[in-house]
Structure 1
Amino acid sequence: MPQHDGHTNPAVPPPRTPGQTAGTPPRPVEIEVAGGCWRLDTLADKAGDEVYAAELIASPSPHQPSRRLWNTTQPDPASLEEALGWAIPHGALNVLVDRSPSGPAPDKTTREHPTLPDDAIHSPAYRPTRTSTVRRTGAPTTSYGRLLHTDNQATRRRWTDGPIQIDVRRRAGCP
């Protein structure tokens, strides 16, 4: 059952999430980590094909607004997971895959100064934990661990044959 978020007046925009400034639209998936917030989105490349984007936004402080620390755009969800170095839970992945692109993809990776080197995003401060808050368009706020637990319970089947392992996942809404 969806949880009420306290926002009931459609004439007033919903409250901003951590790391979101007045000029920043919400992303379909946001995952909070110790060092900031990951924003995941579906975009369109120049040919109109869907691509998947992630950006790490530093948590704002009283003296400094939020800023982008790192970002990437990948051709498919598996490549995005590989670039991030952590699994995107199925419940969050469905939000990205089942939506139309929200805008054009950048021509190239855009980095604002100062930025993190690519290997820095693999440090614990930038990786989700079981208690990381996950916000998804059209779904109640939950934890990263809860989504992973749900993945392992009902949406995954694994077959192993020697060194080969195959994971089959069911999309939400499919029997």
Structure 2
Amino acid sequence: MASDITFEEYMALSRITFEWADSYDSKQFDRLAAILAPEVTLDYSEAFGQKPITMSKESFLKLSDNPNRLGGIVDCIHHIGGSKYDRTGPDTVTGYHQVRTEYKRYKTVEKKEVEATGQGLTLMHHYYKKVDGKWKLAGTKPGRRMNDFNFDEIFAEGNPKSKI
């Protein structure tokens, strides 16, 4: 059964959530690296029908900073609405965040011509884990509540059906 977290934990986890969103939006992947656990699980089963995968922090950063994704031709902005946190173990917490995300995918890195735009509403699950006494982001699971425009083409690499 889930239980409450302390105020100090709430503040630490809220900071991690902000850093997660703003590091993507600003393309400051060093900030993303600072909040990640050594292993990160991505669960896109609900959003894209893919099996969850666990990868090293370094592999996750490489995926995030990919020039064909958030590291280059895709710009984004994450708006975080309401959040709640449930303790799931002595050193683990699950966060639930209402997130609205806007994306633009450009044809080239010069960003002169937009190829696709998309907006999504999701209930984002974040999995937090204490590592060496500090809270870290250990996983994400976006839901898929509502998408607008040509959202499915945002992360396509030559194939509009391609995902993560």
TM-score by length of structure 1 reads 0.26
Structure number with larger C-alpha Rg: 1
Higher helix residue share: 2
